[in-house]
A and B are shown apart, each in its own frame.
Chain A
Amino acid sequence: MAPNEGQSRVPRASIPFNPVFGWSVGNWMEQFFDGMKEGKILASRCPACGRVYLPPRMICERCFAKAEEWVELPETGTVETFTEAHVKLAPNGTFEDIDGPEIIAMVKHDGADTCIAARLEGGGVSVGMRVKAVLDPSAENVLDLLAGYRAAE
């Protein structure tokens, strides 16, 4: 048998494999979403070092303290960094053009020490740009409660 000849003789079979995963977002993120439904942006603060986490998390990793102080932050923040997407991946694995560039920005809310990643509506993004959250408290899916950001006046 010539090298690789056997490959053509090997039958191919598919295995039915449709796993479903459903990850718990966790206690702290549930409280964040509950706040969002009321139009509030809730962050968790470490009682030991004062670091403010948005999105909130249970443990301040630097102090191993439970970040269980909740603080409501304003809707405004600053773009720390960003990218513009020009193509998307098509189901067949090739690139497809999108209508206009989509901006994904890392936004640090006023009063927060960490960033949140979200879509920025409108153009003209720059590092240091002042932005404002666009909330949609009526969204059916909790992940859509924070619709994105747009330039602050």
Chain B
Amino acid sequence: MAKSEVAVAGVGLSKHVSKRRDVNIAELVWEAVSACYENAGLKPKDIDAFITGNMPAFEGVNLPEEWGAGHWGAYGKPLLRITTGGTTGGSVAHGGYYAVASGLYDTVLAIAFEKQSDGNSTAGLNTVAIADAAAQFALGVDPAFLAAFGGGAVGVAVYQASSYMKSSGCTTQHLDKVAALCRNNAALNPYSHLKQPGLTPEEVAKTVLLQHPIRFGHVCPATDGACAMLFTTGEKARRLVDKPAYVLSVASCSDEAAMVGIAGSGTTNVDPCTQESCKIAAARAYELAGIKDPRKEIDLAEPYAPFAHQMLMFYERLLLCDEGEAPAILDSGSMNLDGELPVCPSGGVISTNAIGASAMERVAECAQQIMGRCGERQVKKEVHKAVAHGWGGAVNLNVVAVLSDTPRR
């Protein structure tokens, strides 16, 4: 276990909208990066190393970091790209943590992004699914059928939603409620994509049913956007900002792989809503952070939830309550901005999904809530400890980070 203190001393975000046709990839990401430099009061000369990532194949640009690095201040500096699917941004943040915690670098800029409007995200997802799909073809499954009905982002969520709802008692009304909660939070976030102030669960319930049980209103948009975070030593962070956000721990866990296996949205042989690897990663992260009872000690959660049921499912898998309790906790109002344990105060992935950046934006929101920089969406309670999560890989990887307003003792 690393002994050194690691802290976030700056966060920068670009505008997040569906189509940024006015800028190219390098220029879009520059917006987040330059905001982060400004935010931390640093210049590229102060950065020791750069870590970046986005989804492979989505924009059809391989090695986008080699194109953009100079636009982000990395000229003449060490550069590393990390790409792990939906978890990419979380993994990039973990990379920033590792680089500082290891003592190899003092100050690291972590950058994650996606410019979905340049490419074809469904094609990109299909390239992720190939390994598992190949086995299905050998059994005589028609590839065209899989591509049209089994694949795509909704395809990996619907089976999971059905099994989660069965096991937890979560109803479609709960899904509507989650969507309304998140989109209302997003309306207070200048960097969110889908802002729907005043949206009600009843309005969500009227949106088109895409694939049972998921309605249009339960699904994330496709977003162009970028996020940058400055990781540095606790000592340096205290010099740079009044209130740094300390990263107490990171943990990840890889489960069995399967895109279109029996379960369709998790692993081949188990129920896709169990997410055992999330529980393992969360338990490990809390242990490393010195947290004994996450239900009492965690003040805020940013689970990765592009689909409504996932906010409740991952709340449970992050060990913040017993399994099956999350729907009732949602009903109690505890997850609201003024609640006991606010969830997705940023508006969540369901409101903004620049895929490669999304899992980092969970960490960034936790950091900014701790730093007290969230403006209108700043949660009412004081945030001492927060948990950020990402879900991705070949839908079998979970990443967790725990942040705090005080360094680890």
Hey, which bits of chain A sit against chain B, CB under 8 A?
A: 10-11, 13-30, 57-59, 61-62, 64
Q: In B101-117, which residues have CB < 8 Å from any A CB?
A: 115, 117
Q: Are A17 and B26 in contact (CB under 8 A)?
A: no
By Cβ-Cβ distance, the 6 closest A-B pairs, closest first, are: A61-B70, A26-B24, A19-B123, A19-B120, A21-B60, A61-B75
Give bound CA distance, A17 to B147, whole Å: 9
- Give every chain B residue within 8 A of A14 (Cβ-Cβ): 143
Q: Are B23 and A26 in contact (CB under 8 A)?
A: yes
Q: Are B22 and A24 in contact (CB under 8 A)?
A: yes
Q: Which residue of B lies closest to A26 (CB)?
A: B24
**Closest Cβ of chain B: how far from A22's Cβ, in Å?**
6
Give the size of the chain B interface in residues (CB under 8 angstroms).
35
Q: Are B119 and A59 in contact (CB under 8 A)?
A: no
**Closest Cβ of chain A: how far from B129's Cβ, in Å?**
10
How many A-B residue pairs have C-beta atoms within 8 angstroms? Tell me.
Answer: 77
- Give every chain B residue within 8 A of A29 (Cβ-Cβ): 24
- Give every chain B residue within 8 A of A64 (Cβ-Cβ): 43-44, 73, 75
- Give every chain B residue within 8 A of A10 (Cβ-Cβ): 138
**Closest Cβ of chain B: how far from A90's Cβ, in Å?**
24
Q: Are A16 and B120 in contact (CB under 8 A)?
A: no
Give bound CA distance, A19 to B133, whole Å: 18
Give bound CA distance, A59 to B70, whole Å: 8
Q: Which residue of A lies closest to B119 (CB)?
A: A21
Q: In B74-111, which residues have CB < 8 Å from any A CB?
A: 75
Q: Are A26 and B27 in contact (CB under 8 A)?
A: yes
Hey, which bits of chain B sit against chain A, CB under 8 A?
A: 20-27, 30, 43-44, 59-61, 70-71, 73, 75, 115, 117-120, 122-124, 126, 130, 133, 137-138, 140, 143-144, 147
- Give every chain A residue within 8 A of B24 (Cβ-Cβ): 23-27, 29
Give bound CA distance, A58 to B34, whole Å: 13
A–B Cβ pairs within 8 angstroms, 22 of them: A10-B138, A11-B137, A14-B143, A15-B147, A17-B123, A18-B123, A19-B120, A19-B122, A21-B60, A22-B117, A22-B118, A23-B25, A24-B22, A27-B22, A29-B24, A30-B22, A57-B71, A58-B26, A58-B71, A59-B71, A61-B70, A64-B73
**Closest Cβ of chain A: how far from B259's Cβ, in Å?**
13
Give bound CA distance, A18 to B147, whole Å: 12
The listed residue (A16, A17, A28) touching B27 by CB distance below 8 A is A28
Q: Which residue of B lies closest to A29 (CB)?
A: B24
- Take A19-B60, A23-B59 as given contacts and tell me if A61 and B71 are in contact as well, using a CB distance cutoff of 8 Å: yes
Give bound CA distance, A29 to B162, whole Å: 48
The listed residue (A13, A23, A62) touching B137 by CB distance below 8 A is A13
Q: A22-B119, A24-B115 are in contact. List 10 more A-B contacts (CB 8 A).
A: A14-B143, A15-B143, A19-B119, A19-B120, A20-B120, A23-B59, A27-B22, A59-B26, A62-B75, A64-B75
Q: Are B123 and A58 in contact (CB under 8 A)?
A: no
